[in-house]
Structure 1
């Protein structure tokens, strides 16, 4: 069971999300209607995961996520949206969003998305995967690597040198499963699908 904060400016939608979450065995610790209220509630309630609507008054979901990351808050965040333009998508990816779920699919996909991000994976809904890869592919090699966390960059550098997951885990003092999770996130952020492409990406960026 996860402790979840739901941020959306439509009360009816919030209640629907709350019902889905409770049926899935999760605890809704707070429901908020704007970005500033959400930031305050996160500090007060300390949820395990935050569900953010893109469009909210005062501070929208995109800027709320950016502010969380600026504060050093790395807890999982899933964006809920009817639609996203390219600028919004690129912004939330740069802010290390953990998942994106379309509202019309929330009843069927939200619990799966929560399970994924709580297990260290990313959940990008539908066509957003292709758009994210297109954005990552069009960026310069150095700017693409800038989106990796320090630990992800460590893993990427070791893998690019030809080390197996087991060897990387031993070098970094972690588990092989954790290395696999890091690789999944690295591939998603860089828009690649294998170790050869990863090695080429680091080579192009001068790493």
Structure 2
């Protein structure tokens, strides 16, 4: 079973998360009510994934994320939150957070989120991603969209991804090999810090124009 540590300063939320996971493939191996306790318990609890409330006393979920990444600890972290400031959303994404899940509706989505994250995928709530993209476009960069860092050919590939085309069809459209398309996608993912076609398509959908 996948070992999960959960942290929230509300006992009711902790009990609720445990109840959701009780009959799943995820085993709750540790509980905490603040970020400091999470960090202190890591070596003994040895969780595979952490599910952290953003707002906790002493150290928040964001503080734990910052600390673990600064230590080089890349264990998957899911932030469970009622709300998250736009600048924190952007920072969490830059720190390679593995999941951002809103508490409203989490009872239906938490297991699905954990399954994706346990498979190396990223789960970001659509509303949270939209807000992060909007903030990035208006944070003093004069409205420059993230796609501006791509080459013309990389933007073309991104545009075709946004249209739902698969690699083989993209290769035919651009007159290149399917392997070349994969190389382009790898570069695009690295430049934009995205991990899936869905994230890339979402990012592309917010662009004013893709050549």
TM-score greater than 0.5 by the shorter chain:
yes
TM-score, scaled to structure 1 = 0.70
Partners of 1:21 and 1:27 within 8 A in 2: yes
Partners of 2:4 and 2:48 within 8 A in 1: yes
Residues 109-188 of structure 1 correspond to what in structure 2 (within 5 A)?
109-138=109-138, 166=179, 182-184=195-197, 187=200
Give the match for residue 75 of structure 2: 75
Partners of 1:137 and 1:191 within 8 A in 2: no
Shift of 1:60: 0.6
Residue-pair matches, total = 175
Unpaired stretches in structure 2, ≥5 consecutive residues: 148-153, 159-173, 184-193
Cα offsets for 1:88-145 (capped at 9, x unmatched): 2122112111111111211101011111111222111241121122234446599x69
Shift of 1:70: 0.4
Shift of 1:182: 4.1
- Residues 192 and 138 of structure 1, relative CA distance in 2, 3 Å threshold: farther
- Residues 102 and 165 of structure 1, relative CA distance in 2, 3 Å threshold: farther
Give the match for residue 192 of structure 1: 204
Partners of 2:4 and 2:27 within 8 A in 1: yes
Distance 1:14 1:57 in 2: 15
Unpaired stretches in structure 1, ≥5 consecutive residues: 146-155, 171-180, 201-207
Q: Is 1:31 the counterpart of 2:25 in the alignment? A: no
Equivalent residue of 2:106, what SS?
A: helix
Partners of 2:8 and 2:32 within 8 A in 1: yes
Give the match for residue 63 of structure 1: 63
Shift of 1:191: 2.8
Larger radius of gyration: 2
Q: Is 1:45 the counterpart of 2:45 in the alignment? A: yes
Distance 2:179 2:57 in 1: 47
Equivalent residue of 1:127, what SS?
A: helix
Give the match for residue 10 of structure 1: 10
TM-score, scaled to structure 2 = 0.69
Equivalent residue of 1:120, what SS?
A: coil
Equivalent residue of 2:73, what SS?
A: coil
Partners of 2:8 and 2:34 within 8 A in 1: yes
Distance 1:41 1:185 in 2: 35
Shift of 1:185: 8.4
- Residues 68 and 168 of structure 1, relative CA distance in 2, 3 Å threshold: farther
Shift of 1:24: 1.7
Equivalent residue of 1:191, what SS?
A: helix
Partners of 2:24 and 2:111 within 8 A in 1: yes
